[in-house]
Amino acid sequence: MPGGRHRKQELFPGLGTEGQAALARSTVLVAGCGATGGTIAALLVRAGVGRVRIVDRDFPELTNLGRQLLYDEADLAAGLPKAVIAREKLGRMNSEVEVEGIVADINPGNVLDLIEGVDLILDGLDNQATRYLINDAAVSRGLPWVYVGCLGSAGNVMTVIPGRSSCLRCLFPHPAPPGTLPTCDTAGIIGPAPSLVASAAAAEALKLLSGSGDLLTRGLFTFDLWTDNFRVISLPAPSPACPCCGERRFEFLAGWLYSGAATMCGIDAVQINPPGAARLNLAGLAGRLDPEALISVNKYLVRFQAEGFSFAVFPDGRVIIHGTTDHGQARALYDRYIGF
Amino acid sequence: MAEEVPEGVRVAELIDLFKENDQSLIVEVNRRFVHPRDYRTYEIKAGDQVELILPAFGG
């Protein structure tokens, strides 16, 4: 309403009061809540999107603070997961928005539950594999999603409307083998890159949710802020030969191409997922460990050190092991200390 | 970085020339996407503007 919280946004002719009301009726999933996801979530909560569900598997670290705008030094000391901190902070930004924070790794076993009831999925992820999984899940359910990626000073944004535009596998039929693509660890990253991709993705969300879907960017938006290179690459129509949206083989969703180990972007760490569903008694684990090895214990995670590595263990059996990027070594450490 | 390449070179040869990993490149010719399945047959003509872009999967 005029004079209300969203007055200036409603004055923007592209939205108006009808567009604003449509935002308030909408539900989005922000998959991952780091540099890109945190900024996307903040922009959409402040814009008045009715329900914002955020899912993240991680907790804030010192090396995140240079670009992950939702988190600060006090959050490092608190030792809480990002999804819990983000829910609290986003709730203070706009109490009219229903914000849900879920601490979880997105995997083939939970992704369809996580996207249930949403109008749009936004990519705040830090890895290739989960994007292929989100692409499968979104296309299988006919849900739009926005691919958002960044690295160094560059970034890509592409809105996928199943059946109408290319999906991720139309462009990249198969993921690159682990270790062959540059990552935040090898190429580095500067804060403006995730902020720009997040802003572009949030604008795509506002268009789609407010009824201006015909104005969505048609193609792949790509930029490099360091070399002043910005453009939209035209994409072909969805490919009938695409394994996902053409042939409707959802190989990542089925779990066939999904690995239980993943290198974390921007930190020297590997995440190990337990085989199958698991629940872990965190208090029991903390009780079995040498008290001097414990870093912190709360209801969301247990952190401890051993053999020069640090471990963050979550109730779903998931463990993030810092100090290695070697999947084999991480699996061995997992078996030694957690041992499902 | 802009470089001249011989006319008639195919995209796959161009990728080899620049020693890029061809598994997940974005190849663009005159602002249009070239699909990986076309790399071996797509010929670069005089005046074409080609860009090889590494996709970003960080966040």
At A338, the pLDDT band (50, 70, 90 cuts) reads confident
- Maximum distance among all alpha carbons in chain A? 62
Question: B54 to chain A nearest CA, in Å?
Answer: 8
pLDDT in tens, A288-297: 888 888 888 9
Of B21, B37, B53, the CB nearest to A222: B53
Q: Are B57 and A151 an interchain contact pair (Cβ–Cβ within 8 Å)? A: yes
- Does ipTM come in above 0.90? no
pLDDT in tens, A224-233: 999 999 999 9
Residue A228 sits in the same domain as residue A274: no
Of A34, A154, A235, the CB nearest to B33: A235
Q: Residue A236 pLDDT > 50, yes or no?
A: yes
Q: Which residues contact A49 (CB under 8 A, 6 or more apart)?
A: A23, A24, A26, A27, A28, A97, A205, A209
Question: A265 to chain B nearest CA, in Å?
Answer: 6
Give the pLDDT score at A2. Answer: 44
Q: Which residue on chain A is closest to B29 by alpha carbon?
A: A233
The CATH number assigned to the domain holding A119 equals: 3.40.50.720
Q: Residue A340 pLDDT > 80, yes or no?
A: no
The answer to whether residues A229 and A193 touch, using CB atoms and an 8 Å cutoff, is no
Mean pLDDT calculated for residue range B25-51:
91
Mean pLDDT calculated for residue range B7-17:
89
Rounded distance between C-alpha atoms, residue A314 and residue A303, angstroms: 9
At A257, the pLDDT band (50, 70, 90 cuts) reads low
**Domain membership flag for residue A262:** no
**Domain membership flag for residue A242:** no
Closest CA to B21 of A287, A196, A178, A22: A178
Question: B27 to chain A nearest CA, in Å?
Answer: 10
pLDDT in tens, A82-108: 999 999 999 999 999 999 999 998 989
The answer to whether residues A208 and A164 touch, using CB atoms and an 8 Å cutoff, is no
The rounded mean pLDDT for chain A is 91
Of B21, B33, B57, the CB nearest to A234: B33
Residues of A involved in catalysis: 184
Q: Are A233 and B26 an interchain contact pair (Cβ–Cβ within 8 Å)? A: yes
Q: Residue A263 pLDDT > 50, yes or no?
A: yes
Q: Are B26 and A171 an interchain contact pair (Cβ–Cβ within 8 Å)? A: yes
The answer to whether residues A269 and A321 touch, using CB atoms and an 8 Å cutoff, is yes
The DSSP 8-state label assigned to residue A221 in this structure reads: E
Q: Residue A1 pLDDT > 60, yes or no?
A: no
Give the structural domain span for A322. Answer: 268-337
**Domain membership flag for residue A168:** yes
Residue A141 sits in the same domain as residue A184: yes
**Domain membership flag for residue A253:** no
The residue extents of the domains of chain B are 11-53
Give the pLDDT score at B21. Answer: 60
Of B35, B57, B59, the CB nearest to A236: B35
Residue A208 sits in the same domain as residue A132: yes
**Domain membership flag for residue A256:** no
Q: Residue B19 pLDDT > 80, yes or no?
A: no
Q: Are B59 and A231 an interchain contact pair (Cβ–Cβ within 8 Å)? A: no
Tally of domains within chain A: 2
Rounded distance between C-alpha atoms, residue A123 and residue A32, angstroms: 7
- Residues on chain B touching A184 (C-beta within 8 angstroms): 58
Q: Are B21 and A194 an interchain contact pair (Cβ–Cβ within 8 Å)? A: no
What is the reported pTM?
Answer: 0.85
Q: Are B59 and A176 an interchain contact pair (Cβ–Cβ within 8 Å)? A: no
Rounded distance between C-alpha atoms, residue A8 and residue A208, angstroms: 19
